[in-house]
Structure 1
Amino acid sequence: MKFICRLPFAENFISANLQNSGENLVEFTSFLGDKKLEIKTQSLETLDANDFEFFFKETLSLPESKGLENFPNHENYLQELEKAIETIRENSLAKLVISRPIKKEISNLNLEASFKNICEKYNNTLSYLLITDDEIWMGATPEILGKFNKKSGNFFTMSLAGTLPLNEEWSDKEIEEQKPVSDYILDKLKRFSSEVKVSETYTHTSGNIKHLRTDFSAELEIENLENLIKELHPTPAVCGIPKNFCKQKIMEIENYNREFYAGYIKIETEEDIYYFVNLRCAKIFNNCIIAFAGGGITTKSNLEKEWQETELKSQAILNHLIYN
């Protein structure tokens, strides 16, 4: 098992290889919290551009895809969205996040070149590649669930929700979608810190789409860090409120296992502990790649626009693959 990533705006890469000793410096937690993958290692290694190829020196055999059949088409997904809107109305919910797996047939994928290309295209994301004996995940997520500085005790997080193509203007739908996420995060932070700072809401660009974003910072004791993360995850940006009720409804409507999609990735460096929401990600096989994408559904949602939003989000990975 091994892992390589580039933190947002960083020049170098960080890599980790499973050593079965040391600390859990890299962890993947699934959306439902029922699956956790831990990489125990003595330290994370920093790689510059010249060392990058060293990570890929071993010949890699891509896993086979088995039992992957549940891929909703356009009509199926719109039916799921109709169920979501009905659920929202019946239960007076602010929003419900519905996603879908998107399958693309591939052959002769160049994993190294694809990962490098995604890193170049998305400088403001956590771009990563996870390789285990059973599965391969790759992603470029723009959303920070938490960043904790060990020295200062400062905790940072963001409310990132509402999605549009770059050429469209914000509407009430996107504003209504993002506000409950901000309210939820602020409420959780106030339970752990008496000093919380909130920014103005602004536009965050990620490749071919944009989001509404609000930043939060707070002073936090390190012993409260994991409890805060558990309270925050999953935020309404990937789930809904109340989260346990919404998680159950999501499973009923989507009818597939999100696995690590919309879960979170923990990376601990010497100075900081990062937690990234695992978005814009895909699972890679020898003959296909499964990308995951979703959107926040409200009573004002336009079903066709929601379908197009998932198409746009999946392009973050699918449109930047390199083949031999």
Structure 2
Amino acid sequence: MRAWQLRPGTLHRCCQIIPELDVLTWLHYNHWQPRSYWSDREQRLEIGGIGSAIQFQAHSADDFASLLSRAHELAAQASSSLICAFAFDEAPGRAHWQGFPAALALLPAVEIRREKGTLRLAANLFAMTEDELALQRRELISLLNKLIPVSSEDYLDSGVEVVQRLDELDYGSCKAHISDILSEISQGDIHKAVLARQVELRLAGKLSPFATLRRWQQISPGSFSFAIEHADRVFMGCSPERLFRRDGRDVLTESLAGTVRRGETPDEDLKLEESLRNDSKLVREHDWVTRYIEGELAPWVVSTSAPQKAGVLKLDRIQHRHLPIRAKLKEHVGDLELLRALHPTPAVCGFPRHAAHDLITRHESVQRGWYSGVIGVVSPHSSELAVAIRSALVAEDRAWCYSGVGIVEGSDPEAEWQELEAKIESFLAAVEG
């Protein structure tokens, strides 16, 4: 590392295999900002990062092409992936999202990467001048020397008590919004619109985000887990929904729609699953979503395929109808085209997309920020992005958590309200430990 010579625009990187450790515990004890984390649903890839070798930011959707191009170029040099996030509204944040850009891609200064059963520690440095190289090399060496080793036996705190809960939307207001949305749906131009709400938690003490994420991960197995520390806050979550996974030109996405709760007993759970499979409203909603996704993909692919029957994705508190969709991309089509085609999904926006988004703008009082946006990892050869639901924004002794519900013809306000509540229960459990 001390022998690195300036190569403007070129990444310096060194990497070595390290003994097994828990990545979230490592991030909890090594608290130099910004920290970042990603783990996919199948546990193919896990990344924990400290510091930032380089960041790219976008302030509107017009900048996404440049951000992804630069991220791919740097990832190719690193033989790694950049962690990235895109806002729901493709715009910079305001209020408690102040300082969050429309999109961000970052390569950590120090990262731990678990892939194919092997754990590696890497150090990254990117400089354009001799002065930058000297300064960043000193800072990187200092950071490496300060790293605290951890083991599986290291203690993680047991949570923080919620002392006050502030609901941005109460049941009466929610019912009124749903009634208004159903009135617009009855006119025939919109099939589905997603209503989101924000719940602010005020806590008895400072919340440890990575210890909380570890508990949340244990409560929500089979989810994408993520965290990005930015503007002195941490956006984190455990999402069940994939936007897409791309390996070369092979793409895997999914239609996720229709929700019922989990049963208290195996028999009750099975009955609820049967209602999910057979309820005409839920089946109709899911079929619409599937056709919509296939239609959005059509200009960019040479083929698509999907099972004839939907399956069920079971989570800790709820279960969804789920259908995997595979596709082969046309030549010279990549992450940017997939992002534009699939984001925001019917699960977080509705469909048709533009009409549903306009309705959301008129009915929602809260800014979603990165909630229901996109988060994941990108590289030239393979990328995976998840829909940033089941997520929260944490700032010391405060947290803002979010949930959304899809409104379609026949939606019942009481059932939708209960679904909104069920979707934040796992985060509340993780907060209090």
TM-score by length of 2: 0.66
1:58-103 alpha-carbon deviations (Å, 9 max, x no partner): xxxxxxxxxx988111211111111111121134321111111122
Q: Contact 1:25/1:43 (CA < 8 Å) preserved in 2? A: no
After TM superposition, list the pairs within 5 Å mapping 1:201-220 onto structure 2: 201-220=310-329
Out of 182, 187, 190, which is 1:93 matched to? 190
> What is the CA RMSD across the aligned residues, in angstroms?
2.8
User: 28, 40, 45: which is aligned to 1:7?
Assistant: 40
Give the equivalent residue in structure 1 for 2:261: 165
Q: Percent identity?
A: 21
Q: Which residue identity lines up with residue 15 of structure 1 in the other structure? A: G
Instruction: Tell me, yes or no, if the aligned pair for 1:70 and 1:256 is still in contact at 8 Å.
Output: no
CA distance in 2, matches of 1:43, 1:81: 47
CA distance in 2, matches of 1:42, 1:321: 29
CA gap 1:195/1:252 in 2 versus in 1, 3 angstroms:
same
Question: Does 1:186 pair with 2:283?
Answer: no
Alignment of 1:41-56 (within 5 A): 41=108, 45-46=112-113
Residue number among 384, 401, 407 corresponding to 1:274 in the alignment? 384
Alignment of 1:34-183 (within 5 A): 34=91, 35-41=102-108, 45-46=112-113, 71-108=168-205, 109-150=207-248, 153-167=249-263, 168=272, 169-170=275-276, 171-183=279-291
- Residue 393 of structure 2 aligns with which residue? 283
Shift of 1:289: 1.6
Once the two structures are overlaid, the 10-residue window that deviates more, 213-222 or 140-149, is 213-222
Q: Structure 1 CA distance, aligned partners of 2:328 and 2:44?
A: 28
Gaps of 5+ in 2: 1-33, 56-73, 76-80, 92-101, 122-146, 155-164, 264-271
Q: Which amino acid aligns with 2:104?
A: L
| Partner residue in 1 for 2:413 | 303
- Give the partner amino acid of 1:262: S
Alpha-carbon spacing, 1:227–1:37, altered in 2? closer, same or farther (3 Å): same
Task: Decide whether the 8 Å contact of 1:30 with 1:259 is kept in 2.
Answer: yes
Q: Counterpart amino acid of 2:412?
A: N
* Alpha-carbon distance, 1:316 to partner: 2.5
Measure how far apart 1:296 and its partner are: 0.9
Match for residue 134 of structure 2? none
Aligned pairs (5 A) from 1:217-232 = 217-221=326-330, 223-225=332-334, 226-232=336-342
Supply the AA of the counterpart residue of 1:123: P
Equivalent pairs counted in the alignment come to 310
Between structure 1 and structure 2, the one with the greater Rg is: 2
**Which residue does 1:60 correspond to in 2?**
none
Write the distance in 2 (CA, Å) between the matches of 1:291 and 1:99: 11
Measured at CA, do residues 249 and 70 of structure 1 come closer, stay the same or move farther in structure 2, by a change above 3 Å? farther
Deviation string 1:28-75 (CA, Å, 9 cap, x unpaired) is 1111112112214589531589999869x9xxxxxxxxxx98811121
User: Would the aligned equivalents of 1:110 and 1:322 in 2 still touch at CA under 8 Å?
Assistant: no
Q: Which amino acid aligns with 1:173?
A: K
Within 2, Cα distance between the matches of 1:193 and 1:46? 31
Pair 1:300–1:102, CA change in 2 (3 A) = same
Determine which of 54, 61, 64 is the counterpart of 1:20: 54
Kindly state the Cα deviation for residue 5 of structure 1 after the two structures are TM-superposed: 2.1
Distance between the aligned counterparts of 2:45 and 2:383, measured in 1? 17
**Is the 1:188–1:228 contact (alpha carbons within 8 Å) kept by the matching residues of 2?**
no
CA distance, structure 1, for counterparts of residue 213 and residue 324 of structure 2? 28
Secondary structure, counterpart of 1:311 in structure 2? helix
**Could you tell me which amino acid in structure 2 is paired with residue 219 of structure 1?**
K
State the distance in 1 between where 2:359 and 2:171 align. 20
Asked if 1 retains the 8 angstrom alpha-carbon contact of 2:195 and 2:406, the reply is yes
Cα deviation for residue 273 of structure 1 reads 0.3
- Distance change >3 Å, CA 245–CA 11, structure 1 → 2: closer
User: Matched residue of 1:92: which SS?
Assistant: coil
5+ residue gaps, structure 1: 58-67
